[in-house]
Amino acid sequence: MILIVGGAYQGKLDFAKELFPGTEWIDGRTCREEELLSCGGIHHFHAYIEGQLRRGQPVRQLAGSIADGNPEIVIVSDEIGYGIVPVDAFDREYREKAGRICTELAVYADKVYRVVCGIGLMLKG
């Protein structure tokens, strides 16, 4: 597993596509769980988490399910835990869950990158 994180609009997907050419990507804003467990890569992974939470789906075991079901996946996710803590309870829960899931994924990942201004820095691997 490869995890690529960074702020919004920092060039994470372009970085991932350059590093892993030929990977077939799905969009976390619209994909289904079956696709997540069979795809080469997912971008907007944070949006997948948000969608699951909005539909009332459990995400507690998500990192382990991905690690077991699709260990070769490349995951691209926005870092959403910075800045002012949201007033809205759902937004706080989403932010908390997304951060914890990405933290768990980093443990499973062979490599972890952080991308800023299109430049990737390897954090693990």
d(CA 55, CA 115): 30
The amino acid at 47: A
Q: What is the overall mean pLDDT for the chain?
A: 96
Average of pLDDT values for 19-44?
Answer: 97
Q: Is 82 or 35 the better-scoring residue by pLDDT?
A: 35
pLDDT score recorded for residue 38 = 96
**Per-residue pLDDT at 83 exceeds 90:** no
Output DSSP code: residue 20. Answer: S
**Per-residue pLDDT at 62 exceeds 90:** yes
pLDDT score recorded for residue 82 = 86
